[in-house]
Structure 1
C-alpha cells in the first residue's frame, strides 16, 4: 500500500538530569565544609561542571531514548505494533518471499537480500520521520520478540512521488478476523497524530480485500493510475 503528506514532527518529552544534584553536592568539598559551587576556585568550578555533565548526560539520554521508544509502540484491543528492527529479519524474509502476500505489493516478492536492505531503510526512516513500519503481533500485552508475528503495517514514502502511504501485509491466515483493519486504523491514527495531514493508500482494482480495509477505516477513493497493466485505485485520508 502506498502516498502525499506533510512531514511529521518528532515529539520528544522533556529531559531531566537526575544525577546533577548529587554531583553538585559532591563538588562542594572544593569550597570546604558546606561550600557552594559558586565558592569554588575557577578551575575547580569548571571541573565540577564537567563532572556534572559527564554524570548526567548518559542517564538523561538513556531515559529520553527509552521514552521515545515507548511512544512509538501502539497497542490495540488485540494487537501490539512494534517498530521494526533487525530482530524481525527472519519473519520479514518469510513474509516478503511469500507470493500470497507480496505478489500484489509494490515491487512484488523480495529476495532475502532486498528484505534486509528494506529493513535497514525502515529503521532509518523511523529515525528521520518519527513514524514508519511496525511489526504486528497478536497479543495486546506483547513485548519485543514475543507474541505471534502476523505481518507488517505502517507508513512509507512512495518512490513514485505520490507521498506518504499506508501499507499493510499480513499472513493469509489472518484474513477474515479484522486484524488488518485494526492494525491499519491504528497506523493511520498515529500518522495523523504525528502531523501527517494527508495519507494515501493504493490497491489494485481487483484486490477487494485491501480496498475494503481502506474503506472501513474511513479512507475515500481519490484517483487512479495504471501500473504494469493493472488499474490502481488511490485512497486518501485528510485530517
Structure 2
C-alpha cells in the first residue's frame, strides 16, 4: 500500500480504525447526495468499503486513499477500478468543511500522477452526475475532457470525462 504526501495533505490507505470518521464524511448528507446510496447504520457500509479498498490495494496496487489534513480524515480520493467499464477512475469525496480549498484538485492530480507515472495505466476516467458542476470543474482543471454520458449503479445519466496516458505525460 502506498502513502503519498501532497503539498497540504497526506494520502494513506484507510484502516478499520478509520470507519467512524469515514462514515461521518462519506454519509454526510451533502456528500451522500452525489454518491450511490446506502441504508442502515453508515458505519457498516463504511467498514465494508474500507475492506474493499484494502482488497484492491492487495490485488491491483491502487484504491482510494483516505485524505488527511493535520491528522484529521477529510475525505477519500484516488484510483478505483470499475469492472463495469473495465477501466480505472479517479475519484474524490470530501467533507463539506473541506470544500472550496482546492483539496479535490490537489488529490486528483496526485492520483493521476500515480496512475500514469507509477502504474502506467493507459486511460483514467472520472464520472459524476450532470448537476455536480463542482466535480466537473475539478475534472477540467486536472486535464480530463468530457466524452459521453453513461449509466452507473442505478444512476441513469452520468457524465464521463477521461484522459489518456500520452495526453497526461505531454501536458
TM-score of the two chains, using structure 1 as the length reference? 0.63
**1:162-189 Cα distance to aligned partner (Å, 9 max, x none):** 5211111001111111011101111111
**2:47, 2:109 → 1: CA distance?**
27
Name the structure where helix makes up a greater proportion of residues: 1
Aligned residues of 2:25 and 2:75 also touching (Cα < 8 A): yes
For residues 49-68 of structure 1, the aligned pairs below 5 Å read none
Alignment partner, residue 45 of structure 2: 114
Deviation at 1:203, TM superposition (A): 1.1
When structure 1 is superposed on structure 2, of 166-175 and 108-117 the one drifting more is 108-117
CA distance in 2 between partners of 1:231 and 1:97 (Å): 22
Which residue of 2 is the match for residue 101 of structure 1? Answer: 31
Is residue 2:164 matched to residue 1:238? yes
Q: Is contact 1:205–1:231 with CA below 8 Å preserved after alignment?
A: yes
1:218 aligns with 2:143: yes
Return closer, same or farther for 1:109/1:98 CA change in 2, 3 Å cut-off. farther
Structure 2 partner of 1:182: 106
Larger radius of gyration: 1
Give the TM-score, by structure 2 length. 0.86
Query: Counterparts in 2 of 1:142-181, with a 5 A limit?
Result: 147-181=71-105
Q: Which has the higher contact order (CA 8 A, sep 6+)?
A: 1
Structure 2 equivalent of residue 29 of structure 1? none
Aligned residues: 161
CA RMSD, 1 decimal: 1.7
1:124 aligns with 2:58: no
Q: How far off its partner does 1:73 sit? A: 1.0
Once superposed, which parts of structure 1, at least 4 consecutive aligned residues long, lie more than 4 Å away?
A: 226-230
Offset from partner CA, 1:121-156 (integer Å, 9 cap, x none): 1101101111111111114xxxxxxx1211000111
